[in-house]
Structure 1
Amino acid sequence: MVIGYVAVEKLNGKFIGGLLVVDGRGIPQEFKYTEPIVPNELQRILYGKSLDVFLKTEIIAATLVKKLEKAVDFIFTKDLELLEVDQRIVFLSERREEIREVRKISEEEYLVPYKEGALRIIGKVSLDKLKKLSELLDEGLDIFEPFERLERALEYLCSGT
């Protein structure tokens, strides 16, 4: 299984995004990132409150996903706003509720057994892919750890500019 992780961060007034692709063992297969973007005053005035969402979704995340070279089974995010960018993007969060099997909550929301609780998954996902993911989780995959690496990489890239 090949999994992508996409994140967009706002660090010190700069927006930066990254996409890390790993295999089922967590080994990096691909990494893309954007240069830090600093909106100017006119952009802040014209876009108002919509500036952050516009930069995160249409400028940064959409660009990263478009440049993706590897075929991925999932692209995970911890940001619900990024779901609109591409139907392959899936929101992940951890729940304390303990479950024993994949549970469908709604059309695009599922709970999957994970450690002592559950993973909440929102997005367009087939049951086959959820079962494959569940098997990887049973084998000990730490599904959130690549997010930590991606976030550290973005902080590193943003600090050098």
Structure 2
Amino acid sequence: APEMIRVLVEHRLDHVLGCRQEAPNDTTAYRPGHEQGNKAFNRVVGGLFGEPVTDMLSGYRVFSRRFVKSFPAMSKEFEIETELTVHSMALRVPQEEVMVGFRDRPAGSESKLRTFHDGFRILGLIVRLFAHERPFAFYGGLALIAFMVSLVLGVPVIWEFFETG
């Protein structure tokens, strides 16, 4: 944490994200499927909001007072990291990522994360935040899909009408 605080202060940032990096001799820190799911969410959020992110589901973060005051926390549980990431992207706050160590849980402790349940909740939140933050792109995309479906369904009918009279 001291390194992240130093980066925040020296670079005059509003958000520093600690990106988890497994120790070279520890390949069990991520549960099966979690690393791939995290990478997929990173690509989706980066693509939708136009800014790459390495580890959006990391909870290891440092914020400026200004960022904290601007954040309307609505989420509970594991969606909070997604909401924080999208909020910082939407506001285009000065931010940086710092690599931090990540190792396996201590013996006897268990993760509260429910892989598929929480994954679908996070995906739903991403869709809602995209509709809220970029409504033209969201609803324009839906309109384009509806238009394409109507062409696929309607053109054969109209074509047959002109052929048969």
Q: What interval of TM-score do these two structures reach, taking the shorter chain for normalisation?
A: under 0.3
Please say which structure displays the higher CA radius of gyration. Answer: 2
Higher strand share: 1
**Structure with bigger RCO (C-alpha 8 Å, 6+ apart):** 2
Higher helix share: 2
TM-score of the two chains, using structure 1 as the length reference: 0.26
TM-score of the two chains, using structure 2 as the length reference: 0.25
